[in-house]
């Protein structure tokens, strides 16, 4: 039996959590797996995966997120959690969670059953921290380390270093160096370097630090609410 | 970066000492980011119990010579008007960043241009403020720096008027230290407890917002108004593309001006004769520049475009008193406006006989 993939994407504001979570979900779905993508970036229900829900469903994902029509009439009601979200992990397939930013985003996992199972045999949710080393507050090894220490335990890092349209392969590789060094200092693995497909192709299967490369497609630019 | 982060970095390099704030979407990350940056750079932050407290605390900070600022939106902007009016009366400098959201009241946390009137003319007075309406992130950065300089140079409340889209969207931006570009930062000086003995070594400082006699207020206010009129030609800013051939002049501010500019370029490529006018300072308003643009062609029609129901339109009409040019509108309160919608509005309203290609 193939092990289920249970991953939550966490990290700094605007580090690329949603884009990485979506791409991971789509990549797993394309390889024939059942995938549920869960939108737990609920600090602002208006800035999340909602506009992409239909498109992702067409790609074969089960998407747990609000529909625009469901939000009409709610007003500004703090954090509207769908009741299905508390059972997000109860699914016979892979579950990918897109979490809101920072420590407060992480706290939402307290409302999801089975995130921290006492039974060590069962599959466990892995928290993957997405790091864009051009983001000012995660732009050096010591800042990344400080960010992880403030955030609390995670299971791995993803180097998502880019500068939008001004990205270069060298910039991504330099990000890989910083993220790998930070990961080494706190004893964590680097799960991947993620990069838009044209850059990923030029970098190859592994970045210069030996981390596997995940090609990304752009979804979030269509998330015009 | 998101626009909110850009503002926090701009305040940092502009020499802001202290932010007083109260959370409200869509400006929250300005506060979050400032609160994270401030300890690393010896700056301060206090979350007050509401926006009125934040505004008054800002004035206190400015009185003792600190550069203070705040960011707010919507209902927070309303509450902030009382301290802002006091700042106008007492000539206490301060910078307010407004990320407009839908209104009236709580409405939406998302976007609008419905705080134009409130920001330029809110408060019980004459609206003696300087208000910059930005359109993209580089401007958010540069006009936030400029706002600090203007506020402490002229001692009038100064605003950066953004919106929820600018707050949340991501765009490349070049951050820099103002000094590296030869920009001088206006120093902040204590307004009270200055050195020397009052009346002997220097004039006493007598900052007031209360007057017993009508004429006393009148004299003070007329002096303030005269000071405001003097600064107007120095601070007023705009962008214009117009010529004697122009048949339709698009008028928009802020992020909608960005769509208008794009629509203008695309329509001109299609053969339409379209111009563009954007006030960058929405207070003081570049009225003379607008009148000059409209005078380019007596048959020119205006198309005023805004994510509000006639707030910019009212300012435009006031400035064009006596002109007979037709004014069309594309008014969509609380929702975004794309370049394509503006193009459609222009082409639909251009009579067939003057359409390019017949």
Domain chopping of chain A, boundaries: 6-222
Candidate from A89-93, A210-214, B119-123, B124-128 with smallest mean pLDDT: A89-93
Residue A122 confidence (pLDDT): 66
Q: Is B163 exposed, middle or buried (0-12, 13-18, 19+ CB in 10 A)?
A: buried
The class level of CATH for A6-222 reads alpha beta
Residues A160-169 have pLDDT tens digits of 999 988 999 9
**Lookup: tokens for B192:** 């009270």
State the pTM of this model.
Answer: 0.87
Residue A200 confidence (pLDDT): 97
Q: Averaged over A125-148, what is the pLDDT?
A: 94
Position A79 confidence tier, pLDDT thresholds 50, 70, 90:
low
What's chain B's length in residues?
358
Query: Other CB atoms closer than 10 Å to residue B288's CB: what's the count?
Result: 13
Q: Averaged over A117-132, what is the pLDDT?
A: 81
Closest C-alpha among B176, B87, B97, B164 to residue B129: B87
A47 touches B at CB < 8 Å: yes
Mutation site, A136, A164, A166, interface B, largest B CB count within 10 A: A136
Cβ contacts below 8 Å, chain A against chain B, sum to 32
How much of chain A is in helix, strand and coil states, percent to nearest 5? Answer: 35, 20, 40
CB contact under 8 A, B172 and A14: no
CA distance A176 to chain B (A): 20
CB-CB neighbors (< 8 A) of B170 in chain A: 14, 164
CB-CB neighbors (< 8 A) of B1 in chain A: 14, 135-136
Residues B268-317 have pLDDT tens digits of 999 999 999 999 999 999 999 999 999 988 999 999 999 999 999 999 99
Residue A11 pairs with which residues in a beta bridge? A130
Residue B100 pairs with which residues in a beta bridge? B163
Residue B261 confidence (pLDDT): 98
Omega into B26 within 30° of 0, i.e. cis?
yes
Residue A8 confidence (pLDDT): 95
Position B131 confidence tier, pLDDT thresholds 50, 70, 90:
very high
Residue A74 confidence (pLDDT): 65
B358 has a pLDDT exceeding 60: no
Residues B153-200 have pLDDT tens digits of 999 999 999 999 999 988 889 999 999 999 999 999 999 988 899 999
Residue of B190 and A110 predicted with greater confidence = B190
Candidate from A62-66, A191-195, B209-213, B229-233 with smallest mean pLDDT: A62-66
ipTM score of complex? 0.72
* Closest residue in A to B175 (Cα–Cα): A136
Omega into B319 within 30° of 0, i.e. cis?
no
A14 touches B at CB < 8 Å: yes
Query: Other CB atoms closer than 10 Å to residue B331's CB: what's the count?
Result: 16
CA distance B29 to chain A (A): 9
Residue B172 confidence (pLDDT): 86
Give chain A's count of helices (H) and strands (E): 7, 8
Domains of chain B: 3-181 (3.40.50.970), 240-354 (3.40.50.920)
Mean pLDDT (chain B) is 95
B104 touches A at CB < 8 Å: no
**H or E element that contains A147:** helix A141-151
Residue B138 confidence (pLDDT): 98
Position A186 confidence tier, pLDDT thresholds 50, 70, 90:
very high
A201 has a pLDDT exceeding 90: yes
Return d(Cα B93, Cα B188) in angstroms, integer: 9
Residue A77 confidence (pLDDT): 56
CB contact under 8 A, A13 and B32: yes
**Lookup: tokens for A57:** 């469903």
Closest C-alpha among B313, B350, B331, B356 to residue B112: B331
CA distance A103 to chain B (A): 12
CA distance A47 to chain B (A): 8
**Which residue has tokens 């500068």?**
A163
Position A75 confidence tier, pLDDT thresholds 50, 70, 90:
low
Instruction: Go through B124-137 and write b for each residue having 16 or more CB atoms within 10 A of its CB, e for each that does not.
Output: ebebbbbbbbbbbb
Q: Between residues 194 and 223 of chain A, which touch chain B (CB distance below 8 Å)?
A: none
Q: Between residues 44 and 103 of chain B, which touch chain A (CB distance below 8 Å)?
A: none
Q: 3-state secondary structure string, chain B?
A: CEHHHHHHHHHHHCCCCEEEECCCCCCHHHHHHHHHHHHHHCCEEEECCCHHHHHHHHHHHHHCCCCEEEEECHHHHHHHHHHHHHHHHHCCCCEEEEEECCCCCCCCCCCCCCCHHHHHHCCCCCCCCEEEECCCHHHHHHHHHHHHHHHHHHCCCEEEEEEHHHHHCECCCCCCCHHHHCCCCCCCCCCCCCCCCECCCECCCCCCCCCCCHHHHHHHHHHHHHHHHHHHHHHCCEEEECCCCCCEEEECCHHHHHHHHHHHHHHHHCCCCEEEEEECEEECCCHHHHHHHHCCCCCCEEEEEECCCCHHHHHHHHHCCCCCCCEEEEECCCCCCCHHHHHHHHHHHCCHHHCCCC
Query: B32 near B19, Cβ under 8 Å?
Result: no
Candidate from A16-20, A172-176, B78-82, B261-265 with smallest mean pLDDT: A16-20
Residues B26-76 have pLDDT tens digits of 999 999 999 999 999 999 999 999 999 999 999 999 999 999 999 999 999
Nearest CB partner across the interface for A166, out of B2, B106, B172: B172
Return d(Cα A132, Cα A176) in angstroms, integer: 10
CB contact under 8 A, B2 and A76: no
Candidate from A79-83, A90-94, B62-66 with smallest mean pLDDT: A79-83
Residue A52 confidence (pLDDT): 86
Residue A44 confidence (pLDDT): 59
CB-CB neighbors (< 8 A) of A46 in chain B: 108-110
Query: B169 near B6, Cβ under 8 Å?
Result: no
Closest C-alpha among A7, A20, A43 to residue A125: A7
Query: B14 near B90, Cβ under 8 Å?
Result: no
Residue A224 confidence (pLDDT): 60
Residue A155 is given by DSSP the state S
B349 has a pLDDT exceeding 90: no
What count of Cα atoms within 13 Å lies in the side-chain half-sphere of residue A17? Answer: 28
CB-CB neighbors (< 8 A) of B109 in chain A: 44, 46, 76
Residue A78 confidence (pLDDT): 58
**H or E element that contains A176:** helix A169-186
Residue A147 confidence (pLDDT): 93
**CA distances to A21, A42, A108 from A73, in Å:** 29, 17, 23
Omega into A12 within 30° of 0, i.e. cis?
no
Q: Give percent above pLDDT 70 in chain B.
A: 99
Residue A43 confidence (pLDDT): 60
């Amino acid at each position: 039996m193939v092990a289920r993939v249970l991953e939550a994407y966490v990290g700094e504001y605007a580090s690329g959590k949603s884009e990485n979570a979506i791409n991971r979900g789509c990549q797993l779905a394309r390889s024939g797996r059942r995938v549920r993508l869960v939108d737990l970036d609920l600090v602002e229900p208006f800035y999340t995966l909602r506009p992409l829900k239909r498109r992702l469903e067409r790609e074969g994902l089960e998407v747990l997120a609000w529909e625009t029509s469901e939000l009409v009439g709610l007003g500004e009601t703090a954090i509207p959690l769908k009741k299905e979200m508390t059972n997000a992990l109860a699914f016979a397939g892979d579950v990918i969670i897109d979490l809101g930013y920072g420590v407060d985003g992480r706290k939402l996992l307290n409302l999801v059953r089975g995130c921290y199972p006492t039974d060590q045999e069962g599959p466990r949710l892995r928290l993957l921290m997405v790091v864009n080393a051009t983001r000012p507050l995660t732009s050096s090894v010591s800042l990344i380390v400080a960010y992880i220490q403030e955030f609390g335990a995670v299971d791995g890092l993803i180097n998502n270093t880019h500068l939008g349209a001004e990205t270069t392969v060298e910039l991504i590789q330099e990000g890989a160096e910083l993220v790998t060094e930070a990961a080494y200092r706190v004893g964590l693995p680097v799960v991947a370097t993620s990069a838009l497909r044209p850059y990923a192709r030029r970098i190859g299967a592994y970045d210069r630090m030996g981390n596997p490369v995940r090609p990304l497609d752009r979804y979030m630019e269509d998330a015009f609410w | 970066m998101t626009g909110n982060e850009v503002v926090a970095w701009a305040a940092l390099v502009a020499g802001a000492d202290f932010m007083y704030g109260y959370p409200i979407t869509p400006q929250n990350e300005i506060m979050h980011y400032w609160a994270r940056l401030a300890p690393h750079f010896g700056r301060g932050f206090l979350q007050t119990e509401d926006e009125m407290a934040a505004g008054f605390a800002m004035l206190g900070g400015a009185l003792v010579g600190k550069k203070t600022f705040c960011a707010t939106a919507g209902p927070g902007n309303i509450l902030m008007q009382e301290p802002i009016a006091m700042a106008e009366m007492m000539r206490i400098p301060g910078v307010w960043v407004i990320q407009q959201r839908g209104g009236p009241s709580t409405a939406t946390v998302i976007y609008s241009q419905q705080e134009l009137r409130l920001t330029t003319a809110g408060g019980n007075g004459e609206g003696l403020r300087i208000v910059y309406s930005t359109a993209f992130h580089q401007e958010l950065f540069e006009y936030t720096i400029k706002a600090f300089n203007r506020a402490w140079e002229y001692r009038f409340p100064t605003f950066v008027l953004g919106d929820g889209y600018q707050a949340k969207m991501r765009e490349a931006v070049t951050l820099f230290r103002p000094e590296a570009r030869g920009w001088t930062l206006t120093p902040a000086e204590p307004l009270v407890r200055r050195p020397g003995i009052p009346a002997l070594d220097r004039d006493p400082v007598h900052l007031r917002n209360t007057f017993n006699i009508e004429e006393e207020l009148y004299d003070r206010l007329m002096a303030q108004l005269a000071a405001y009129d003097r600064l107007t030609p120095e601070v007023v800013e705009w962008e214009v593309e117009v010529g004697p051939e122009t048949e339709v002049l698009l008028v928009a501010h802020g992020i909608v001006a960005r769509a208008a500019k794009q629509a203008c370029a695309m329509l001109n490529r299609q053969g339409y004769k379209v111009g563009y006018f954007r006030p960058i300072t929405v207070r003081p308003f570049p009225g003379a520049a607008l009148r000059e643009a409209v005078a380019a062609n007596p048959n020119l029609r205006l198309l005023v475009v805004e994510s509000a129901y006639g707030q910019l339109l009212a300012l435009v009409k006031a400035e064009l008193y006596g002109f007979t040019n037709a004014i069309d509108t594309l008014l969509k309160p609380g929702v975004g406006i794309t370049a394509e919608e503006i193009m459609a509005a222009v082409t639909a309203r251009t009579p067939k006989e003057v359409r390019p290609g017949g």
